[in-house]
Structure 1
Amino acid sequence: MFGLSGEPISLDPSVTADGNTAYVTTQIYNSLISFKPGTVDLQPDLALRWTVSSDSLTWTFYLRQNVKFHDGTPLNAEAVRFNFMRWWDPSNEFGAKKPFLGWKNNLGGFKGEDGSLVKDIKVRNQYAIDIILDKPYPALGSILADSGLFGIASPTAIKKNPAQYGTPAGIAVGTGPFMLKKWTSGVNVDLVRNPNYFRAGLPKSEALLFRFVKDPSSRLNELLTGGVDIAAELLPDQLKAIQSNVKLNAVLRPALNLGYLGLNTSYKPLADVRVRTAIASALNKKAIVETFWTGLGITDGHLLPPPLAKNYAKSVTDYKFDPAAAKKMLADAGYPNGFALDLWYMPVSRPYYPTPKPIAEAMAADLSAIGIKVNLKTEDWAKYLQDRQDGKFQAFMLGFVYVTDPDSAYTYLIAPGSTTDITWNSPEANTALESARKLSNPAQRLPLYQKVDEIMFREAVRIPIVHSRLLVASGVGVKGWIPSPTGSEKLDTVEK
């Protein structure tokens, strides 16, 4: 039994991609490719192998043969194309009747839109399918490996009743290790073992029950009393209690996120890199992370999270905490007495910033020590996001979660259309990213991503504060559980 923080919105991957939904749909569906357990490295899933053309525009996926959906219908290239067309084409009669934001956010746009990275989807033969791109996009493999977003569903099942597919009143049919038995709205989702799963000997368990337990304290109590075997999304301040209990195992999910401090160069003092570096050197990041993440936080000088560490430049470690040096940098830049700075903090808790206001107050205290007079500000979350995007903030707190490829991370952080919040552009960094996109070999892209790492550290427009590991826990009798950095993993190897 697995304790979730809430109920799935739908078991149709094309409808939503929230964490609770993804945990359940990951058990029901497979994607073309997947992540190796506990990592963001790619491995075969429904596709035994895949190739990328010399111009990096055509990705060909070669499917496993003799794989069946839970309803007994065969997996083939036509079934895969059916799924992709209902995601890509908003006018598709079997689509969700609203834009699939998971597609738009990751692949630029829908069929017919200027921003669409996908140009066409073609069946090559019964067990091979081509995804043809408008321009090179090396992150495609990592994007499609998310079975919570891009799980392949049975066309036959969807066509039976499109309006109810994936709802408590309907069905959800994939090729995954577990099959949907019943979804009791407000209570649980009950799954049973798929006896025809294509991975021999899996799943290990005969059944899997997801219970909805909203409050973190209640989830921990359910774990203690045997109401659940695994509890997700626990709080940092619960770590010590779990570690001190012999009945429980604390598990730290690898940190695939980033909390950063953004500095808008349209504000005159922040246009000077010496000032930005002074701010980075004035922040006692280690003390901040130890205080507010209670053992779950990692701080360094990289924007990319630790699971992507192979893309780090060896020359980059972290900004040294040195208030005296920071004061000198300010003086050299023409601000011997400091300056006023509006620092905006988020009004909501996120995994990378669990308590935004106290964290902002700690940053303000550090900056005041070098003469920067900080005014703390916040506003409604929706307005905060829009005003930040419109470049209205001088300095601000933000971050991201579950980015599995350096290209998609850097596109979000530094691509020309993504830097309106910091009013900054680096032709050098963007040239490196464009060059990397034209290379199909990941090893050849590494030096280019490492170059971007060096540039971003030097420029200090987004100062990395923390990569936060997420706390989950299990009973000591649970075996075979390998938490994924992405936040949801297949539970086919878990047994009790």
Structure 2
Amino acid sequence: MVHSRSAQRRWVAAIGLTSAAALVLTSCVQSERSQDSGTGGAAGGTFTFGAAGAPKLFDPMFATDGETFRVARQMFDGLTTFKPGTAEPAPSLAKEWSSTPDGLTWTFKLETGVKFHDGSDFNAEAVCFNFDRWYNLKGDAQSDAVSQYYVDNFGGFSDKPETSLYKSCAAEGADTAVVTLTKTTSKFPDILGLPSFSMQSPKALKEFNADDVKAQGDSFVFPAYANEHPTGTGPFKFGKYDKANNVVELVRNDDYWGEKTKLDKLVFRIIPDETARKQALQSGDIDGFDFPNAADWDSLKSGGFNVEVRPAFNVFYVGINQKRNPKLQDLKVRQALLHAINREQLVKSQLPEGAEVATQFIPKTVGGYADDVQKYEYSVDKAKSLLAEAGASDLTLKFYWPSEVSRPYMPSPKDLYGAIAADLQAAGIKVEAVTKPWNGGYLTDVDQGAQADLFLLGWTGDTGSADNWVGTFFGNPANRFNTGASAWGADLSAQLKTADAEPDRTKRYDLYKEINRKIMAEYVPALPISHSPPALVVKNTVKGITPSPLTDEKFVDVTVN
């Protein structure tokens, strides 16, 4: 899958949008974005960014990883976006929108004169083509591992319309698209600012068979569109992906509908090792990189680099697959794991200043956070006692951790794994380590849920809706946590659906607070560890980057002197 934010998350765009939080009135948002007259700024220069891993592909609809999304954000626009530096929805290709009082029908007024990179027109028909494309995916393209963001946010596809949030889209002239939903939800239209729901060229999607996804063993093969022909409306166009030299190159879109970038090229140089990324920055081979190790922040600053710190809008957790090892289906065992991990020490020793222990799966700034959830103090004796009560003193767990990646919530997976594994072993739990590259088997094994007992993962919020957090994690009883292996899995899923559909904000927050209490006291489907303030670092000659609580930085305004 960006991130300064006020103490209380705001659900209203600065220029007047009310999300489905207050559906008693018709809501409307209008764009204040000024369009470039065509002159733009003088083009010139290349901005080279050090990426922690390779993008999985270039079609954001089928992406789940941050490295793909980082590249996609530069090439594609959505109907909505987020106000820079916040999680507030803002206009993009839709310059304004409004909803009916019940929140089921949304009318989007579109920017005009916009072209896709292939020269074809962006209009209401293109909007509906994209919505219908997502809804009508077939076969292997429906897999959670392929279309996870659609499944998490829109539910089912056209072959099971009763499970889908999306109902229909109609073009009313070239500049008006009307989207109809099947139910009220707190997350619409904010989710349309996510890279997965970017507007893509219908012409290119059809020409290069964009939906022809095929399963191959434990992975998937994606069509030419996803690998060679991504086509959006963004300020940068796809140039090339040189796999031999680990370089993705984007070029300036001279026909961009908004304010044009001053850069000639945007280059992502893939450097999996964090130390190597730092050395590349110091030697001048790259102009910046994301998620520098917190231990290096001071030295980078003293070395003349700008360390831009984002607010903590994430959660790092240890996932539990209850299906593979039946002992993990015992609540006492899962509670024992929480007691066994010294989260306070981990936060102090492994994470940056400002990080804090997570008591639940959402940060304090998200509506629905509960102050009174059950707490789990660090206690090896308590952990051992619970394991003994559950008949699991001989517990052995296969514990996955990812290589070739650094995430906002997980700056050094190897070190975090080491600290957690040592704590578990101190409580008498045997740990079998398994490591795979993030986009080289790790996500596949974790998503399919058949391999790992425990795994390291986390989440950076896409929006300020609690549904984007606990709804994403636990709304589907058959997801990677395999909550369906427990009797309460379906019950939790139902509670989350009820909360998301509640139009009254206060009532909805109360529902989520109760859900969070139950998650931590009665369910414990995974182990929340921490919230961390991630950073990115650039040369002091780089200007124009606004740190985002959503890691939603766009490089259109970047200059390199």
Give the TM-score normalised by the residue count of structure 1.
Answer: 0.78
8 Å Cα contact 2:363/2:369 also seen in 1: no
Deviation (angstroms), 1:316: 4.2
8 Å Cα contact 2:337/2:424 also seen in 1: no
Unaligned stretches of 5+ residues in structure 2: 1-46, 140-144, 210-222
8 Å Cα contact 1:42/1:145 also seen in 2: yes
Correspondence 1:28 to 2:91: no
Q: Please give the residue correspondences for 1:173-184 in structure 2 after superposition, counting only pairs within 5 Å.
A: 173-180=231-238, 182-183=239-240
Q: 1:50 to 1:359 in 2, by over 3 A?
A: farther
1:345 to 399, 405, 410: 399
Q: Which residue of 1 aligns with 2:251?
A: 191
8 Å Cα contact 1:90/1:99 also seen in 2: no
Deviation (angstroms), 1:475: 0.9
8 Å Cα contact 2:401/2:455 also seen in 1: no
Q: Which residue of 2 aligns with 1:420?
A: 482
Correspondence 1:128 to 2:152: no
Correspondence 1:406 to 2:466: yes
Deviation (angstroms), 1:36: 2.4
Deviation (angstroms), 1:164: 5.6
Q: Please give the residue correspondences for 1:30-429 in structure 2 after superposition, counting only pairs within 5 Å.
A: 30-70=77-117, 73-90=120-137, 102-104=149-151, 106-113=153-160, 115-147=163-195, 149-156=196-203, 165=225, 167-168=227-228, 170=229, 172-180=230-238, 182-183=239-240, 185-186=242-243, 187-192=247-252, 194=254, 196-198=256-258, 202-203=259-260, 205-215=262-272, 216-236=274-294, 238-249=296-307, 251-252=309-310, 254-260=312-318, 262=320, 271=330, 277=335, 279-293=337-351, 295=353, 297-305=355-363, 308-316=365-373, 318-321=375-378, 326=382, 330=385, 335=389, 339-349=393-403, 351=407, 352=409, 354-355=413-414, 357-365=417-425, 368=427, 373-378=428-433, 396-404=454-462, 405-415=465-475, 416-418=477-479, 420-421=482-483, 423-425=486-488, 429=492
Distance in 2, Cα, partners of 1:391 & 1:173: 35
8 Å Cα contact 1:261/1:465 also seen in 2: no
Q: Which residue of 2 aligns with 1:95?
A: none
Q: 1:188 to 1:342 in 2, by over 3 A?
A: closer
Q: 1:286 to 1:113 in 2, by over 3 A?
A: same
8 Å Cα contact 2:75/2:232 also seen in 1: yes
CA deviations over 1:340-383 (Å, ceiling 9, x no partner) = 333431143463550264133332255x2xxxx31213457669
More deviation, 350-359/79-88:
350-359
Deviation (angstroms), 1:278: 5.7
Distance in 1, Cα, partners of 2:528 & 2:90: 30
Deviation (angstroms), 1:66: 4.4
Deviation (angstroms), 1:335: 4.1
1:309 alignment partner, SS class: coil
8 Å Cα contact 2:340/2:424 also seen in 1: no
CA deviations over 1:82-127 (Å, ceiling 9, x no partner) = 22233332379xxxxx975553454333322464433322224432
Distance in 1, Cα, partners of 2:555 & 2:369: 31
8 Å Cα contact 1:282/1:321 also seen in 2: yes
Deviation (angstroms), 1:42: 1.9
CA deviations over 1:241-300 (Å, ceiling 9, x no partner) = 424422343545744243135495996797456x75565345321102333335585322
8 Å Cα contact 1:178/1:203 also seen in 2: no
More deviation, 481-490/62-71:
62-71
1:24 alignment partner, SS class: helix
CA deviations over 1:147-188 (Å, ceiling 9, x no partner) = 3x22213345556666765655x5x543323345x3262434
Q: 1:60 to 1:15 in 2, by over 3 A?
A: same
Q: Please give the residue correspondences for 1:450-465 in structure 2 after superposition, counting only pairs within 5 Å.
A: 450-459=513-522, 461=524, 462-465=526-529
Correspondence 1:489 to 2:553: yes
Amino acid at match of 2:186: P
Distance in 1, Cα, partners of 2:134 & 2:352: 41
8 Å Cα contact 2:185/2:502 also seen in 1: no
1:348 alignment partner, SS class: strand
Distance in 2, Cα, partners of 1:56 & 1:397: 38
Q: 1:271 to 1:179 in 2, by over 3 A?
A: closer
8 Å Cα contact 1:70/1:194 also seen in 2: no
Distance in 2, Cα, partners of 1:167 & 1:303: 34
Q: 1:484 to 1:194 in 2, by over 3 A?
A: farther
Q: 1:442 to 1:130 in 2, by over 3 A?
A: farther
Unaligned stretches of 5+ residues in structure 1: 93-97
* RMSD over aligned Cα atoms: 4.2
Give the TM-score normalised by the residue count of structure 2.
Answer: 0.70
8 Å Cα contact 2:307/2:537 also seen in 1: yes
Deviation (angstroms), 1:312: 1.0
8 Å Cα contact 1:29/1:173 also seen in 2: yes
8 Å Cα contact 1:280/1:460 also seen in 2: no
8 Å Cα contact 2:169/2:179 also seen in 1: yes
